[in-house]
Structure 1
Amino acid sequence: MKIKPARRQIRLAICSNAGGSGKTTLATHLAYAIGKRGYKVTLIELDHNGSLCIFGGLPPTPPEKSLAAVLKKDFQGNYPLIPLWTEHVSTVTAIQGGGALEESYAELYAYDRRHYTLQDRLEDYPLDSDLIIMDTPASLEPMGLLALAACTHVLAPIKPEWKDSGSLASLVDWYYTKVRELRLKPRPQILGFVPSRVDLQEGTHRDILGLDKKGNQRQDIALEQTLSYQIQALDIHCFPQIRESSYYLRASGAGLPLHVYRPSCPFTQDFEPIVKQTIELITA
């Protein structure tokens, strides 16, 4: 398949200040879908929980072959890249996180340019990738700050639950505050928010999104009260929803993206608006 050539590297930070919002699901499925188009993708896991082991079908990694090694002062550009889903795609690699990152936290705070460590690595030793996806933990500091300083764009999954939607303003405030404090120039752009893990059989989800069980706009809920409207009122793009499915659990159990585990599943199409927008950035 002929693809439009990449013209610049995009570094996409997947950020959320709420656990269980679907960050790793989003990161891995975007990595596969864009890699399958022929673009070179590197997925960097900044989470010490090491969820990529499950989603990528990988064994736990020792510290010297994890992101912890990249963050060491003596790093010299030998990225511990590991190919993902090699039977299905040839352009996707990953740098695993995991428990070794817990020791990195204390080390980072001893560095003069602590929050710019990942940015410095990527500038000093460029990765041959069209897209770098950074999967961050729910605790935004310190790893969220490393991703923010290193990225060109931010994408935020948000689950339509009251506690998650209530954190929307605090995440946006964190973004603007840290961009200012870190004096990031050029400023990373917010690619958008995306409602994720959406279950339209769940009444709360329907109320927050203003949808009925078929995904149609409800007339008994004012548009101004919906999550998507509140996001766009902040002058931030809101992508269409990514629906919840039990197939994700089964696919992750097999260490595969849903696109491979069940390619006929219509839920794989939920990622397409983000895939399209990201490729437009890469090829612009």
Structure 2
Amino acid sequence: MAILVDHNTRVICQGMTGWAGTHYSAAMMEYGTNVVGGVRLGKGGSHHLNLPVFDTVAEAITVTGANASMIFVPPPTAADAMIEAIEAEMPLVVALTERVPVQDMLRVRDCLKGSRTVLVGPNSQGILAPGLCKIGVMATGSERKGEIGVISRSASLTSEVTAQLSRAGLGQSTTVGIGGDAIHGLSMRDCFELFLRDPDTGGVVVIGEIGGAEEQELAEFVAETRPDIPVVALVVGRHAPAERRMGHAGAFQKGVGDAQSKIDALAAAGAIIASSPHLVGETMRKALQLKAA
């Protein structure tokens, strides 16, 4: 079983007719994802990748029965695309666009309040349920179906950790890139709660980095609930200079945003800390062995 997506997920792509939307929609279809159409204002009634294109998300939902949207829209208009999908009551929206203006994301956050939409991203690498559904830009080939959930803020480390888990004989239930921008939808804690409710997830890997306080918020939840599945955490950026943005908008440490405070909080909550990026898979394998003993 997976979280957020399954074999019944029907995906549209907002921005499908651009280069990125075309490339990644085609890759998703090749993987087996049920992509049912695209949205591009002014191109409604046309076809792209042999799929119908609609002027609005609402129209796409009505005609195709879509229950998920992937957003490949440039930063200046990405928030409007998210809001359109939320107002159309799209159940799942995965926003790949990075560097969406913070002020725009405040509008999106307000729109999400009381809505039925789960927003993943922006600046998400996507969602991957091996053998079931891929939404986004995640590399495939090394993933395997199994019981380990992965929550990540880092695209490159997600690929590395997925490969490590598979080499260790541990498949994945779902891998979720929650997004690296400062303001985004689904949080680490939200995602972890979904995994706890999934009977087929037997362990969770958390990949964190500098910036924000999501890792500390997750640590508080883990300390409160004391889950009976192992939680392995990797937090990168221990040697990053203070008060300097590293890469994307979310990777900025000030106060609680430094890596060591996140590591300390997760360790105190009972998570098992992987001491190096190349040890995550082996750390989870040993944790599962210890639990089974």
* TM-score, normalised via structure 2 length: 0.31
Higher strand share: 2
Bigger RCO (CA 8 Å, 6+ sep):
1
